[in-house]
Structure 1
Amino acid sequence: MVAQFGVLGVLAGTVGLAPTGWLAGVAFSIATWVFLTGALHRSGAESFGPANAVTLARCTLVGGVTALVADSFTTSVHVGALVGVAFVAWLMDGIDGQVARRTGTTTALGARFDGEVDSILALVLTVYLAQSLGGWVIAIGALRYAYVVAGWALPWLRGDLPRRQSRSAIAAALGFVLVVAASGLLPVAAAGVLVGLSLGVVSWSFGRDIRFLYRRRAVSIRTASASRPFIGVGQHS
């Protein structure tokens, strides 16, 4: 939380930060603290680890992006600062994974934390882009959370997925596309086409994972049905 307040303070002292941005940044910091505290307790981890420390640093930058995006709804924000912080946060993605592998501290918590930071950055950037490209853009950032909510009703969606390099590549490419679109360097029409293509690719990736989990569930049901003993007439007692 101290680091997050430091990022917010730097933004306030350089490009300015309205009360809306401060409120969003503080709320982001509290939510991060609650999430990490609960996750560490459930995982039984004895230490945070160097890789998670890198992810946390990236998370504080995303908190700064969140504050600037919140301000953009009430006042004009410094686009260069928003894009610059978002770009650094995107650029740091992957460093935590390298640190985890080199230090032998790869954990499920670290992978989950890294993925959540990616998802939040994508959601925040799409909220910002929705002001110029339209509300449909938010679907890109909302897909991940719709998937999670669906898993509450359909437990088979919470199954483990195979590691796929393409999934990581799509996530990395998506972050870059959203940062470029947010920069305003592209014409609005070109940015819309690029983001639209990204929505298609991300939807395909989610669809592939859902199909995999559904097929595995179907196989499990058939296997369980085949192994169930046959109970014929006269065998009920």
Structure 2
Amino acid sequence: MLRFFPSASTPLLSSRLYTAGELTVGSLVLLGMGSVLPTLLATTLNWGLAFGLYALISLLVMIFWSGGALGWANRITLLRAILVALAAGALANNVFTQAIWLWLVIATVALMLDGVDGWIARRTKSYSAFGARFDMELDALLILLLCIGLIQLESLGLWVLLIGLMRYFFVAASWHFTWLSAPLFASFRRKLVCVWQVSALLLALTPLTHPFLASLLAFSALVSLAYSFGMDIRWLYKQSQHK
């Protein structure tokens, strides 16, 4: 009689399937939200961009997460990913400009949930390096989307993209200058700049803000971010010289 003996790969396969199931549920949530918010996903291009971005996020989760169930903290982060995908989809064809307040609400909720997933992770003692990175990458992506939206809405110029791309430039530079990839110390200054950066972009995007004031807000975000990155790069360089 033939008997099946579970191999070492069976638990891993099971955990992958569980993760895939949760990501599939997330895609259904995105479908449902898009259906009840037709002003944001008005065309096939809007839908395609939203689901394309969500598919990319899901692929990266499948690659880097191997813990089976995502856990409640990561599920909240996944909800943030759904909102970010929805906001990204609305950028196509400038559709978001026809529902700017709704778009800003979506972006603001995605931002506010940033503190919720961290709180849940601490309460449930489910903090992980993956969860922290997942959260951070969504923050960076949301900021980039806000910059793109600001360019489309106010025509401020491509310089605004520097706000959203600065972190990606930093990561790219660390591939050559490996000392840039060393861990950084916890910093209140870094958190404050991040909060101001997003707040300034959201304020600049509101229809009540004059274009000149919007440009000043965006410029202040760029200057404060450049200063913060400069301080971190200086510290990392000094640390590398002491080794």
- TM-score, structure 1 length as denominator? 0.85
Gap runs ≥5 in structure 1: 221-237
Q: What CA distance in whole angstroms lies between the structure 1 residues aligned with 2:132 and 2:89? A: 25
Counterpart for residue 47 of structure 2: 22
How does 1:37-186 map onto structure 2 within 5 Å? 37-41=62-66, 45-72=67-94, 77-131=98-152, 132=154, 133-186=156-209
Q: What CA distance in whole angstroms lies between the structure 2 residues aligned with 1:75 and 1:112? A: 28
Q: What CA distance in whole angstroms lies between the structure 2 residues aligned with 1:54 and 1:143? A: 26
Q: What CA distance in whole angstroms lies between the structure 2 residues aligned with 1:7 and 1:70? A: 17
Q: What CA distance in whole angstroms lies between the structure 1 residues aligned with 2:131 and 2:109? A: 19
Deviations 1:151-194 (A, max 9, x none): 11222111111111221222122222211211222100001101
Structure 1 residues 75 and 93 mapped into 2: Cα distance closer, same or farther (>3 Å)?
Answer: closer
Q: What CA distance in whole angstroms lies between the structure 2 residues aligned with 1:184 and 1:76? A: 10
User: 1:211 deviation in Å?
Assistant: 1.2
Q: What CA distance in whole angstroms lies between the structure 2 residues aligned with 1:105 and 1:46? A: 13
User: 1:146 deviation in Å?
Assistant: 0.8
Structure 1 residues 156 and 11 mapped into 2: Cα distance closer, same or farther (>3 Å)?
Answer: same
Q: What CA distance in whole angstroms lies between the structure 1 residues aligned with 2:96 and 2:215? A: 23
User: 1:123 deviation in Å?
Assistant: 0.1
Q: What CA distance in whole angstroms lies between the structure 2 residues aligned with 1:11 and 1:170? A: 32
AA aligned opposite 1:109: F
Counterpart for residue 196 of structure 1: 219
Counterpart for residue 34 of structure 2: 8
Q: What CA distance in whole angstroms lies between the structure 2 residues aligned with 1:15 and 1:86? A: 12
Provide the identity percentage: 31
Aligned length: 215
Gap runs ≥5 in structure 2: 1-26
Larger Rg, first or second structure (1 or 2): 1
RMSD: 1.7
